[in-house]
Amino acid sequence: MTQTIYQVDAFTDKPFQGNPAAVCILDHDMPDRWMQSIAAEMNLAETAFLQKQQDGYALRWFTPTVEVDLCGHATLAAAHILWETERLCPDEIARFWTRSGLLSASHSDGMIDLDFPAEPAEETVAPEFLIEALQVAPLFVGRNRFDYLVEVNSPATLHALKPNMTLLRRLEARGVIVTCRSGDPHYHFLSRFFAPSCGIDEDPVTGSAHCCLAPYWALRFGITQLTGYQASARGGYVTVRIENGIEGNRVYLGGKAVTVLIGELTIAAMS
């Protein structure tokens, strides 16, 4: 007995860019400890575990160290695999039951749109060691249920960041989103995402962070459709659209994906 596992580069149309995620489609329940062990073995930002249900798929996400409540790039990777393996027809909606409720994905002309909850940040006072860790003078500091959001003054400042990960691990948050206006006319805003407490010093492209970035920049630009670029070493772009106006409560995240590996887990690894 073996279990197929896929590795997908998400939020990119080129292999070895974007954010890699593993996708494992299970035929039956597996223990949490097993899923966490597989995620640690894959050692990617996220491993997604799917299991067919009557009305869609149960979906869970694991980093190498913890299970998380919301993940965009691994959801995009999971939807991509469902269509690529013909488990879903090209025009069929992918429905996922998750710890963040029902999420869905649609597929058109090679682009995948994820229907996710908006996660706006409310302005807050930054913990002293957050600013110390980033070594920047922020224009804005906010917080949502997952992360801190920090706006900096320029792309040069964003690119030059070398955060103190030891200090960032002290935050009582999943991670820190750092963002700025883009100097590139192809993108409205840039971002980077740091989550050392989840075993990810810097995430290449973070879909769930754009659930926060979308409402933040929509209000500042006064528009509901924007494109962001996550300026990590691998890099990747995410299109965002706020549903029902600038202050709407749903965000559509758009991106592409490329399968780069198909492998088999042996029964020994599953025992």
Distances from the Cα of 51 to the Cαs of 44, 106, 224, in angstroms? Answer: 20, 19, 34
Segment 241-264 shows an average pLDDT of 91
Q: Report the C-alpha gap between 42 and 11 in whole angstroms.
A: 19
The residues with which 79 forms a beta bridge, in sequence order, are none
CA 46 to chain centroid, in Å, comes to 9
Q: Look over the chain and give the mean of its residue pLDDT values, rounded to a whole number.
A: 95
Q: Can you give the pLDDT at residue 269? A: 54
Instruction: Please identify which residue in the block is written with the tokens 């996708």.
Output: 23
The answer to whether 201 touches 174, Cβ cutoff 8 Å, is: no
Rg (CA), the chain: 18
Q: Report the C-alpha gap between 11 and 113 in whole angstroms.
A: 11
Active site residues: 46
User: Over 60: is that where the pLDDT of 271 sits?
Assistant: no
pLDDT in tens, 42-61: 999 999 999 999 999 999 99
Segment 151-179 shows an average pLDDT of 97
Per-residue confidence band for 267, with pLDDT thresholds at 50, 70 and 90: low
- Candidates 48, 42, 44; CA nearest to 82 is 48
The answer to whether 124 touches 151, Cβ cutoff 8 Å, is: no
